[in-house]
Amino acid sequence: MAERAAARRHFDWEGCFNARDLGGLPVASGGATRHGVFVRGDTICDLTEDGRRSLLDDGVRTIVDLRGEQELERRPNPFAEIGGVLFVHRPLNDPGVTARISAIDDPTERYRLMLDGNGERIAAIFDVFATCPRTLLFHCFAGRDRTGIVAAMLLRIAGVPDRAIVEDFAISDERLARRYDEWSQAWSEEDKARVERSIVEAEATIRGTLGHLDARYGGVEAYLTTNGLATAAIDRLRADLIGPGRPPER
């Protein structure tokens, strides 16, 4: 996958709109993040047969589904029973956190709540990331909020400047424009206003989220280790993201 992905960041798997490699982003120490290590995505439940084949052809060997239990029950992950790929379900949100988020209009406050209420869950997700085979795809539903938080934290570990993290985060709304058009047909006016605010405030939201990690926890690494992730796991993630050559097979 590393060679094929080097020419592009986005993956046009039929039925998936918001999948992109975290490679190719600048690193403060010089160089760029490595392709073929981590891919962030939206739901893969709508992939066509060709789309599923393309995902596998592009080298994905681990899929981490960040959706909740009920989401998975409603829309089972098509790769849970497919050989040749490791499927791991790691819900990011505690059900109680999900309920509290639904009552909050401020997108930055929603993200802060996800961090504050899911520390051990997020650390467990990163432990999976550190140990599972590459290339690893992680996704939620839209590939924007839960996936966006996790992607921003991974990029921080790699030493990607906040400016580039913010720019990468904002790409999701561009990629999801067609989805928004479809989904909006079933939205209430309140839903539409909430989504519109999230889009308008996207860059401020992820900046505020990174700032919250710094101010309250002392940064991404301190947040993860406080919640149970070994320092060695963080070191492996950093080495995989910015090390030379192809990422190691795990």
Task: Domain of residue 77: give its range.
Answer: 2-242
Domain annotation covers residue 154: yes
Domain annotation covers residue 135: yes
Buried b / exposed e across 149-188, counting CB within 10 Å, b at 16+?
A: bbbbbbbbbbbbebebbbebbebbbebbeebeeeeeeeee
Task: Using pLDDT thresholds of 50, 70 and 90, give the confidence band for residue 248.
Answer: low
Express each pLDDT in 14-39 by its tens digit. 999 999 999 999 999 889 999 999 99
| Number of domains, the chain | 1
Residue 5 has pLDDT above 50, yes or no: no
Domain annotation covers residue 6: yes
pTM, two decimal places: 0.93
Domain annotation covers residue 66: yes
Domain annotation covers residue 78: yes
CB count within 10 Å of CB 232 equals: 9
Domain annotation covers residue 140: yes
Record the tokens describing residue 30, joined without a space.
């010089």
